Each structure stands twice: as C-alpha cells, then as structure tokens.
Amino acid sequence: MTKFNDLNLNPKVLKAIAEAGYETPTPIQEGAIPAALDGRDVLGIAQTGTGKTASFTLPMITLLARGRARARMPRSLVLCPTRELAAQVAENFDTYAKHVKLTKALLIGGVSFKEQDALIDRGVDVLIATPGRLLDHFERGKLLLTGVQIMVVDEADRMLDMGFIPDIERIFSLTPFTRQTLFFSATMAPEIERITNTFLSAPARIEVARQATASETIEQGVVMFKGSRRDREASEKRKLLRAIIDAEGDKCSNAIIFCNRKTDVDIVAKSLKKYGYDAAPIHGDLDQSQRTRTLDGFRDGSLRFLVASDVAARGLDVPNVSHVFNFDVPGHPEDYVHRIGRTGRAGRDGKAMMICIPRDEKNLGAIEKLVQKDIPRIDNPLKSEAPKPEAAAKSEPAPAPEKAVEAETGGKDRAAEAKGRKSGDSKGRSRSRDYKGRDKVVGMGDHMPSFIALSFDERREQSVA
C-alpha cells in the first residue's frame, strides 16, 4: 500500500501531513501527486469527497518551497467557483504549509479590496481566488498574472454551471503559456473537455470511480409528493419536510437541506425556525461574514440544520453530516451527486432523502439515469398520520354562528345589491353592500353587469375568511 512518504514530497510537507493524522493517500492523490511533481499537466476526475484539494495543494507547496514571490506577481493561482470553497482551499494551505515559508492571499467577494491589495503588493506565492474578484483586481491594475508558474482550476464542472467558463478562458490567456496546469472536475461535460483540449498539454488523466457516482455508503430515498392544491403545495411540502426529519429522530444529528432557489432557502429556513428547528440559511446573496458564521456554527455543532443553495454543494468539507435532504429535485443531475456527497464522507455512513413533486419527475429520471440505479421510493410519513374519513367527519367542527348567518342571508343580500345596482343612486352610481352590511358605492355606473359585483363580493368574503 502506498504511503505519503513514498510520493517524494518535501519533508516539511510530510511532517505537516503526519501532524494532521494522515498516512495513506486517496486514489486521486496517489495518481495526481507524482504527475504534478514531475511538472506535468494533470486532469483529475473524481467524485466529491475523495481528497482532490490535497492532491494539488501538497505538490504545489513542494514545488514552491524554493523561490520568492515578487510584488503583484503571484507564483501560483488556484481558481474556485465559490467563496466557501476558496476559503477551504486556503485552510488546506495553512495546514500543510505551516513548516514552509510560503505567503498566500485569498481574493473573494464580500471582503475589502484594500486588505486584499495590501497582501498582493507584498507579493504572494499562492493566490486563491474566485474568477470574478480576480478579474476585478486585474482590471484595476493591481495584479499581474505573468509570473504564474502553476495554475489550478478546482471544481471545473461547477464553474460551467455558474457561467464562469468565459472568465476562465480569459484568465488562461493572461497567464504564461509555459505554466503547469492542474484541472479537477467531478464530471466531464463537452464544454469542459473542449477547455482541457485547448489549455492543457498532454495531461496525465487520473480518473477515480465512474464519472458522477455517489458513494456506496450513502442510503438514498425519494418521497413522491403531490399537493392538495397548487396554492397550498409549498406549505404542504414544508410540512412534509418536517415530518421526514421527525421520522429520522435522533439518527439525524445534523443535516444540510438543499433548495434550488435562494428565495426558497430563506423561506424554508424561516419556516423551520418557526416550528422550533435549529436552522439557518446560506446562499450567495448573504453577506460573507454571515455565511462564514453560519458555516462555522454548522461545523462546530452549534447549528443543526443548514438550509443551502448549491453554493454549499461543491467541495465543502464538513466531515460528520448525518443527513442530506433535497427539498427540491436539482435541475442538473450532476448536482444531485454533489449534494448528497456532503454526507457519507471518508467511508462514513450517510443518508440522503429527496422530495419529488409531479413536475420534477423528469429531472428525477435524469438523475437515476446518471447514477445508473433506481432511487428507492419512501412512504410519505404524513399519510400514516392522516385521520380516517369517518373520524375526520366526526371531528370536523360545526360552522361558526356568523358564517351560518352569512350562509342564510347571503342570497337576500345579493338580491338587495342587485336591486340597488338596477335603480342606482342620484349620481348614476350603483350601490353594493360590504361584508358587514354597510352601504358601499361601487362607482362603476348603472350599466355594470350584476355578475361583476357578485365576483367582487365573493372575493371580499374569501379574504375575510
């Protein structure tokens, strides 16, 4: 069995690895590290949670251990699709480079330009950035990429989903042709394959497991759900989510709940908090400091439920996530694999459950085709709680006295209103009666058809109810 000591890494890097408690590299690390140390371009394809981050940070630290950075000219560049993933990569560098004198800078949104400019001006060995913020600094004349020796693109398929491919191509064009490129992705969409063919030179291709496969340690399931009415579907779906969580009981120590839209993230988190669940949202529109606090709380166990958009689906390493709940079926099948990959990490057991409404069944079929297996259907826990029809009829409360009176007098009131509309008042305006019986001028003239006024009256009655 291969050990880290067999991979020709810098002794100071090996010391940091040992202190972190690691001895044996993962398959992607075992394949990528030797090729990177040889100076070759690397194309790494592996499912989430397989240790891709260390497979490029470890050889980068070894290669950069000698040499010195110049002002505004970083020696290496790591591109990440999200702020959280970039911050996590920076933490990895801190862990493995603590015995090596290397400087780094993190360029992400939500942080002051002034602080980032100060770091770049001093010169950095490792620059970790999201594409947008990197180009902002470049266009302001604060950064030169002509000194980049090693360039890493992490989670390339997520870059594609977020529309960063044009930015990636531009950044490639700003770096030297002689750079070494390490390119990592969980899937190989045609657009990504085109980029690798264009910008990588005879890369060492390391592919671990089948493309877009989920870990075998994750128990999967889906609840097929249809709302009683379209306008009640969202609230009933949230009720179903709470029932699924309750059914898991103490087995659900913590969980990430994924929604497709940022607005739904906020609504679901607010709903869970209203019903006594310890939950907080995280998505791209939140302030960076709030996102960081929320993630830290989830990592240290002070927050039980993290309600997230796909900003949290890729690459984030929270080791002990017991459950993943997909409140929505993801629109891209690959996103399903990345979402459920937040649980069952490093060989642990995990559970992933999903709610599927009728209009999402096509997306569910695409996911099952991608993972090459049927996702087991789970019984709706709310159905077992539903009362029998006879019991429901017996327990149904009698109508309130005011509503009974309304039912009895409704016909008389409407007849009186129709009569008022025919006769009209002295100014040619018809009269109607509101839900409390007061006269009310409608103001549409005596030519107004009676059915229009009736529809207005019914809407008023509904809004009051």
Using DSSP bridges, classify how beta strands 439-441 and 431-433 pair: parallel, antiparallel or unpaired.
antiparallel
The 10s digit of each residue's pLDDT in 318-364 is 778 999 999 999 988 878 888 888 888 766 789 999 999 999 999 99
Write out pLDDT tens, residues 4-26: 999 999 999 999 999 988 889 98
Evaluate if residue 424 carries a pLDDT over 50: no
Task: Please state, in angstroms and rounded to a whole number, the distance separating the CA atoms of residues 42 and 52.
Answer: 12
Residue with tokens 């913590």: 254
Question: How many Cβ atoms sit within 10 Å of the Cβ of residue 109?
Answer: 13
**pLDDT band at 288, cuts 50/70/90?**
confident
Residue 448: per-residue pLDDT: 58
Q: What is the pLDDT of residues 192-216, one digit of tens each?
A: 899 999 999 999 999 886 555 667 7
Cα angle, residue 314 at apex, residues 311 and 320 outer, rounded to 5°: 105
- In whole angstroms, what is the distance from residue 86 CA to residue 99 CA? 21
Q: What is the pLDDT of residue 313?
A: 56
Helices (H) and strands (E) in the chain, counts: 18, 15
pLDDT band at 289 (very low <50, low <70, confident <90, very high): confident
Contacts of 156 (CB under 8 A, 6+ apart): 168, 183, 184, 185, 192, 195
Q: Which domains occur in the chain, in start order?
A: 4-208 (3.40.50.300), 218-390 (3.40.50.300), 401-464 (no CATH)
- CA 202, distance to chain mean position in Å, is 34
Q: State the average pLDDT over residues 396-406.
A: 45
Least confident range from 15-24, 86-95, 158-167, 216-225: namely: 158-167
Q: What is the pLDDT of residue 49?
A: 67
Is the pLDDT assigned to residue 461 strictly greater than 60? no
Determine what percent of the chain is predicted with pLDDT higher than 70: 78
- Is the model's pTM score more than 0.85? no
Candidates 46, 427, 40, 7; CA nearest to 202 is 40
User: Where residue 137 falls among pLDDT bands split at 50, 70, 90?
Assistant: very high
Reading across the β-sheet that carries 180-185, which strands appear in turn? 104-107, 126-129, 76-79, 150-153, 180-185, 42-46, 204-208
Given a cut of 90, is residue 167 above it in pLDDT?
yes
The answer to whether 10 and 100 are in contact (CB under 8 A) is: yes
Closest C-alpha among 140, 136, 124 to residue 90: 124
Mean pLDDT of 125-147: 94
pLDDT at 416 over 80: no
The confidence band for 409, taking pLDDT boundaries of 50, 70 and 90, is: very low
DSSP string of 288-318, one letter each residue: HHHHHHHHHHHHHTS--EEEE-GGGTSS---
pLDDT at 319: 73
| SS3 label, residue 393 | helix
Please check the confidence at residue 453 and state whether its pLDDT lies above 60. Answer: no
Which stretches of 119-264 are assigned E, i.e. beta strand?
126-129, 150-153, 180-185, 204-208, 218-224, 255-258
CA quadruple 17, 23, 29, 31: dihedral, nearest 10: 130
